[in-house]
């Protein structure tokens, strides 16, 4: 490896220091100046005697820590020797949740590169935006997903695509040494550019350091999940989504546990996989938990001890129904791509159903008004957070909107009660002002979801001359129920009887499905656009 050449793109495109959030409690974590996180997650695991233990389980095969280390080392050699990668280069990763996706991620990080993972369903146009924003020249891609990437390459700076899945990359790996000297990166060198999921229609690149990968394990996984090497993690979010990267790769590996990776983790496939592979810790979305309720049979979850929900707010009716049917309490949490992972969560010994809980170790939160002043308990305002991770957008003017006075403003409307528990009200752009009333769309959704005829719903505001906005609900009904005027009135009356009557949906539209990102978040902006 050429030791003196470095690509300073990431460093050059960080926000100016005065726009950084205030990073709290970093000194207590005692990170050394030189740190490559791949060593902690992978190389140290082998050195500690876990080499022959399973790290990744797929429906086809089981892989050990030692095997993953070997393959990541050979991948790093391919990147450096054959692709000319120098530390700081960005590498696009394109694959479903799979063993090779994980091996590629560690190969990039070992070589000092910056991983830019992409959702499998992204099209050429979306990939092109990421390639341009992150200035990517090298890509590692599952052969089954090559077409859209090749389409994006035509009008981009992308020079090299290496395909895997019985293709060129594996052949090159076989010819490389099984050992690799990790690049001597700094703890505050960028190793990941994660793009936001696009719920607002315009994704942003967020830059995260080597130390951040360890911080989320130490702040959330260790104290909240308390995993052991005997645990088996499973979930539905893609590894390209930071919720999935933490919950299905970094958390298990930091604990020397194992993870079950499913290329397709829809609820109907997730449940049998939990049972077959005896998963103990589950990461998925509120929508998936709601679907699983109708499919559960005795013994399906006998191995599960912990259920984690994030990505969207967990409606209390879903929490209640899950607990009643399974005796398992879902740990609701909130995180963001900007802060890398969950920064506030319920805990097994501290759950208030319907609440998101309290900030996790090292983080603090408050609810503020439009001027940044903290509001009284029980008052709805903007959620502000700070801790050892925080927002660093890649060359994006929206940094100043997200970070104010050293705090990360997450875009969520919250209340904090007198006991310090936080209660989600809405995304700040989901607040509907109708006839002078402030109405939180998710509150109306929770009311609708409590009706047995409703499978899913999303509530938005639509323009109205008289009221400014009308509350409109898009509703997916249970199979066999007709979306006629009778059910419209039933649902409207049901909402009126459960929350303030002025909040009821004056307009209902019945749909077969709701638009979502690949991570399962409902894209309400598409519903507003019609």
Distance between start and end Cα atoms, the chain: 53
Question: How confident is the model over 69-93, as pLDDT tens digits?
Answer: 999 999 999 999 999 999 999 999 9
507: domain range? 435-529
What's the total number of domains in the chain? 1
Please report whether residue 212 resides in a domain. Answer: no
How confident is the model at residue 1, as a pLDDT?
Answer: 45
CATH number of domain containing 485: 3.30.300.30
Please report whether residue 368 resides in a domain. Answer: no
Please report whether residue 124 resides in a domain. Answer: no
Please report whether residue 450 resides in a domain. Answer: yes
3-state helix, strand, coil in the chain (%, to 5): 35, 25, 40
What's the rounded Cα separation, in Å, for the pair 263 and 134?
26
Picking from 240, 392, 359, 346, the residue whose alpha carbon sits closest to that of residue 400 is: 392
Please give the structure tokens belonging to residue 286.
């509120």
Please report whether residue 133 resides in a domain. Answer: no
Beta strand spans in 312-440 (E): 330-335, 342-345, 358-359, 364-368, 381-386, 403-404, 407-416, 422-427, 431-434, 437-440
The per-residue pLDDT of the chain, averaged, comes to 93
SS3 463: strand
Token match 């129920």: residue?
481
Q: What is the pTM of this model?
A: 0.85
The C-alpha torsion from 369 through 372 and 378 to 379, rounded to 10°, is -10
The pLDDT tens digits along the chain (530 residues) read 445 799 999 999 999 999 999 999 999 999 999 999 999 999 999 999 999 999 999 999 999 999 999 999 999 999 999 999 999 999 999 999 999 999 999 999 999 999 999 988 888 888 998 999 999 999 999 999 999 999 999 989 999 999 999 889 999 999 999 999 999 999 999 999 999 865 444 679 999 999 999 999 999 999 999 999 999 999 998 999 999 999 999 999 999 999 999 999 988 899 999 999 999 999 998 878 988 988 898 889 999 999 999 977 788 888 999 999 999 999 999 999 999 999 999 999 999 999 999 999 999 999 999 999 999 999 999 999 999 999 999 999 999 999 999 999 999 999 999 999 999 987 777 778 787 666 878 889 989 999 999 999 999 998 887 777 899 999 999 999 999 999 999 999 999 988 878 889 999 999 999 998 777 778 888 898 77
Please report whether residue 76 resides in a domain. Answer: no
Picking from 447, 450, 435, the residue whose alpha carbon sits closest to that of residue 502 is: 435
Please report whether residue 464 resides in a domain. Answer: yes
Residue 419: HSE in the Cβ half-sphere, 13 Å Cα cutoff = 8
Please give the structure tokens belonging to residue 180.
């690799």
């Amino acid at each position: 490896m050429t030791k003196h050449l470095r690509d300073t793109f990431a460093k050059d495109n960080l926000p100016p220091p005065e726009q950084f959030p205030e990073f709290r409690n970093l000194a207590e974590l005692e990170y050394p100046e030189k740190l490559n996180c791949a060593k902690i997650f992978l190389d140290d695991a082998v050195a500690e005697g876990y080499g022959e233990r399973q790290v990744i389980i797929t429906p086809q095969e089981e892989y050990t820590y030692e095997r993953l280390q070997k393959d990541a080392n050979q991948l790093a050699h391919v990147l450096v020797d054959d692709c000319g990668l120098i530390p700081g280069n960005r590498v696009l990763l394109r694959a479903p949740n799979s063993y090779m996706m994980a091996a590629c991620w560690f190969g990039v990080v070992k070589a000092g590169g910056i991983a830019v993972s992409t959702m499998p369903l992204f099209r050429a146009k979306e990939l092109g935006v990421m390639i341009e924003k992150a200035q990517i020249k090298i890509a590692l891609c599952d052969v089954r997903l090559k077409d859209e990437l090749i389409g994006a390459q035509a009008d981009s700076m992308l020079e090299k695509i290496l395909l895997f899945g019985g293709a060129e990359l594996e052949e090159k790996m076989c010819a490389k040494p099984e050992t690799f000297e990790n690049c001597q990166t700094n703890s505050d060198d960028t190793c990941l550019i994660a793009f936001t999921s696009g719920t607002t229609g315009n994704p942003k690149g967020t830059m995260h350091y080597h130390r951040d990968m360890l911080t989320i394990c130490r702040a959330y996984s260790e104290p909240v999940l308390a995993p052991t090497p005997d645990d088996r993690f499973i979930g539905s979010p893609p590894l390209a989504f930071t919720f999935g990267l933490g919950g299905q790769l970094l958390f298990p590996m930091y604990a020397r546990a194992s993870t079950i990776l499913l290329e397709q983790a829809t609820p109907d496939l997730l449940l049998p996989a939990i049972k077959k592979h005896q998963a103990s810790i589950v990461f998925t979305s509120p929508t998936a938990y709601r679907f699983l309720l109708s499919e559960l049979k005795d013994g399906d979850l006998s191995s599960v001890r912990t259920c984690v929900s994030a990505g969207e707010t967990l409606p209390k009716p879903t929490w209640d129904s899950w607990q009643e049917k399974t005796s398992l309490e879902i740990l609701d949490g909130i995180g963001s791509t900007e802060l890398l992972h969950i920064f506030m969560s319920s805990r097994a010994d501290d759950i208030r159903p319907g609440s998101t809980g309290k900030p996790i170790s090292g983080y603090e939160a408050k609810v503020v008004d439009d001027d940044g002043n903290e509001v009284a308990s029980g008052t709805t305002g903007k959620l502000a957070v700070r801790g050892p991770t925080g927002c660093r957008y890649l060359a994006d003017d929206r940094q100043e909107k997200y970070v104010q006075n050293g705090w990360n403003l997450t875009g969520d409307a919250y209340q904090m009660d007198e006991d310090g528990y936080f209660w989600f009200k809405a995304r700040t752009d989901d607040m509907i002002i109708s006839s002078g009333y402030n109405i939180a769309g998710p509150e109306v959704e929770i009311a609708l979801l409590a009706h047995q005829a409703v499978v899913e719903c999303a509530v938005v505001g639509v323009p109205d001359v008289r009221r400014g906005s009308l509350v409109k609900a898009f509703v997916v009904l249970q199979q066999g129920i007709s979306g006629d005027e009778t059910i419209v009135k039933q649902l409207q009356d049901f909402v009126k009887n459960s929350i303030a009557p002025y909040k009821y949906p004056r307009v209902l539209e019945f749909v077969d499905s709701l638009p979502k990102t690949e991570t399962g978040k409902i894209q309400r902006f598409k519903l507003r656009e019609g």
